[in-house]
A and B are shown apart, each in its own frame.
Chain A
C-alpha cells in the first residue's frame, strides 16, 4: 500500500514498509496490497455530516432508487467506524470545530466528500459572518460534488470518483490535478465579484450600453407592500384598556405596539400572565444607531392560548447604556430568546439566569445583527 499523499504521507504502514524491503517477498506483498486496496475501495462506510438540505438528498442516496449499499457503503453513526465523511450542508463557524473534531476522530485511511455548493465554497452565504467559506479550509476534501443540492445520483457518482481516486492513490499512480496558477490557493470562488475594486467600471458601463440594456440600477417602479390598516380586535382593546388604566399610557400608535416604560415592563408581563396570556411568542430586539449612542427597541408578544387566542404586544425602548429586566423569571421560554437577542444584538437583560452566547461561538467578537456590523467582518481563521 503505497500511501503517498500529495502533501507527504498522511499515514504509515509498518508491515508494508518492512516487507517490501525483503527480497523475494515483493510478489506476495504486491498481491496483499492489491487485496487491501480492493477492500478499501469497496467497503466505504459513510459518516454523514448532514447539516442542511443536502442531508435530505444524502438520505435519498441510501434509499431504494439509488441505493448506495450496492457499492458496499453503509452509514455508520460513529466516526470511529467510518471511512468517508460526507459533508452535506452549510458549515457555520460554530459547527466547524465540531466537524474538525469528528474528522480527527475518524481512523486512517479516511476520505472526505464535500457535497453541494455550501460545503464546497459556502455558496452565496460565503461572505456572511457565520459561514465557513468551504469545508476544505478545515479538512482535506477528496471529491467535490457540485449541485444545490446534488441529486442522489450525483452523490453516487461522487462515490465512484472517490473509488477511482482510492485505487489510484493506493497503487501509487495518483497525481494531483494540475491547477491554474491563479486558482492554486483558491479558498473562495475563482470568480471576481462585480463589486471587485479591480474591475474597471467603465468597461461594465460600456458593455451594458453595447448590449442596449438599461442600467441595472434603474428603479423598477414603485412597489407598495403595505396591506390594509390593522383592524383593532378585542385583545388589542383589552390591552389598551389595561395600559391606560394601570400604567397611564396614552400613546397608542396605529401601526405598531405601545411603548411601555422600562421599569414597569416586568410588572406588565406578570399582570398579563395572570390574565391568561401564558404563552411567550417572541422577544425581538432592533438596533438604532444614533450619534449620542445606540438605542435598542425590544418587542414582546404574549398570547393567551385558551381565551380565543388573543395577542398582546408591547415595546420597550432602551436609551444608550440602559438594560432591560429579563422575563425569564416569568416565562421560561424567555430564557433562550433573550440569549439570542443578547448574542446577535448585544442587548443586556438584567437578572437573566444564564446570559451567554447561544448561536455564535463563545469567543465571537461583536454582535452581528447590529446595523453597524459589516456582514463580511473578519472571522478567524477563515477570513
Chain B
C-alpha cells in the first residue's frame, strides 16, 4: 500500500511536470518551426505566445464531439484514452534523478519497451473505429511501422543491457557514471547504437521522416482524421508525451541520465537539459527533412537497421566479455 501511495504521489508530481513540459514543448516546437521558416510563431497570446497551449486546450475542450456513422463508439472513445495512458505510464520507470523516479523497477527497460509497444494497439483502434478510409490506411501503416521499428529499438536497448548487465534504468545510469556514457564509450558502436535508437524513436513516435501514418499530404490527418475536440487533443498530446518520454529514455540509456559531463554538477537539471535538447532535435529533424515512402521505410528498417543492431548486440557481448570482464 505504501508503494501504491508513493506511486500516486510521485506519479502525480512527475506526470504534472511532464504534461506541463509537454504543453510548452508544443509551444517550443511551434516557435522553433517558425524560426526555421523565418517566421515568428505564436506571439499574440500571452508574452511570447506562451499561453498558446492553454488557449488550444480551452478551445479543444468546448468543441463538439462527433461520432461518424458506422464508427465503433467504444473503441473510438477508448483509443485516445489509451494512447495518453500508455504514453504517460511509460514515464513511471524513468529516473529523472537518483531520487525523482516514480517506480525504479528492476526490469524498467522491459516496462518501457512493453508500454511503448502497446501504443500500437490504441493507434490501430483509432484507425479501425473511425470508419474512415484515411484513418484505416493510416492505422495499418502505423502498425506496420511501429512493430518494424520496435525491433531495432529493442535490439539497441539490448546493447545497453549487455554492456551494463542490468535492466533497471537507474542501474544503467549508475553504470554510465562509473564507466562513461554509453554513447561515447566504447567509442564507435555506442554512437551507432544511439543513432539507431534515435531513428527508431522518431519512427515510434511517428515523426518526420517516418510519419507515414499521419502523412498530411496523402492521408489528410491519418488516424486522427475523424477525431474532434478533446479526443483529437488527447491523441495529439499522447504523441508529444511519447516523444518527450522517449527523449528522456534515450538520455537515460545513452547519454548518462542525470550525470553531468565529467561528473560536473550532476543532478536533475542535466536530465532536463538532455531531454529537452533531444525533444527539440526531434522537431528540428521534423521541420527539416522529407517523408520516406512506405516501402523505403520498410526496407530501411529490415535491410539495414535490424542486422546492424544485431551486430551491435554481438559486439557488445564480446566487449563485455573480453574487455570489461
Contact = CB atoms under 8 A, between A and B. Distances in A.
Nearest to A80: B228
A78 B65 CA distance: 14
Contacts of B63: 83, 107-109
Interface in A83-106: 83, 105
A59 interface: no
Q: Of A35, A76, A81, A108, which is in contact with the most chain B CB atoms at under 10 Å from its CB? A: A81
B56 A80 contact: no
A69 interface: yes
Interface in B30-54: 30, 34, 37-45, 49, 51-52, 54
A1 B58 CA distance: 13
A49 to B, nearest CB: 14
B225 interface: yes
Contacts of A80: 66, 225-228, 232
A67 B41 contact: yes
B59 interface: yes
Interface of A: 1, 11, 13, 35-36, 38-40, 42-45, 63-64, 67, 69-72, 76-78, 80-81, 83, 105, 107-109
A45 B37 CA distance: 20
Interface stretch (B83-91, B106-114, B216-224): B216-224
Contacts of B58: 35-36, 38-40, 43
A230 B27 CA distance: 66
B8 interface: no
Contacts of B227: 80-81
Given A69-B42, A72-B44, A83-B59, A78 B225 contact: yes
B221 A71 contact: no
A81 B225 CA distance: 8
12 contacts: A39-B59, A42-B45, A43-B55, A43-B56, A67-B41, A69-B39, A69-B41, A70-B40, A76-B221, A77-B220, A81-B227, A109-B64
A78 B221 contact: yes
Contacts of A1: 62
B13 interface: no
Contact of A107 (B220, B224, B228): B228
Given A36-B62, A39-B56, A42-B55, A72 B42 contact: yes
Interface in B217-246: 220-221, 224-229, 232
Given A39-B56, A78-B220, A80-B227, 9 more contacts: A1-B62, A40-B62, A42-B45, A42-B59, A67-B41, A80-B66, A81-B224, A81-B227, A109-B64
B277 interface: no
A76 B216 CA distance: 9
Nearest to B217: A77
A43 B52 contact: yes
B35 to A, nearest CB: 10
A44 B225 CA distance: 18
Nearest to B41: A69
A70 B44 CA distance: 6
Contacts of B285: none
B57 interface: yes
Contacts of A11: 64
B165 to A, nearest CB: 47
Contacts of A63: 37, 39
B232 A81 contact: yes
B61 interface: yes
A1 B63 CA distance: 13
A107 B229 contact: yes
B302 to A, nearest CB: 30
Contacts of B229: 107
B59 A43 contact: yes
Contacts of A64: 37-39
Contacts of A44: 59
A45 B42 CA distance: 13
Contacts of B232: 80-81
A9 to B, nearest CB: 13
Contact of B61 (A39, A67, A71, A72): A39
A194 to B, nearest CB: 46
A108 B44 contact: no
B57 A39 contact: yes
A168 B174 CA distance: 58
B62 A39 contact: yes
Interface in B130-161: none
A39 B64 contact: no
Contact of B66 (A39, A45, A71, A107): A107
Nearest to A12: B64
Interface string B1-44: 00000000000000000000000000000100010011111111
B55 A38 contact: yes
A351 to B, nearest CB: 34
B64 A107 contact: yes
Contacts of B43: 70
B283 to A, nearest CB: 14
Interface string B52-82: 1011111111111110000000000000000
A70 B49 contact: yes
Contacts of B39: 63-64, 67, 69-70
**Chain A to chain B: the 8 pairs with minimum beta-carbon distance, closest first:** A39-B58, A107-B64, A43-B59, A42-B55, A67-B39, A39-B59, A108-B64, A107-B228
A290 B59 CA distance: 64
A36 B55 contact: no
A365 to B, nearest CB: 31
Contacts of A70: 39-44, 49
A67 B59 contact: no
A164 B105 CA distance: 53
A36 B41 contact: no
A42 B52 contact: yes
A260 B225 CA distance: 54
Given A69-B34, A76-B221, A109 B62 contact: yes
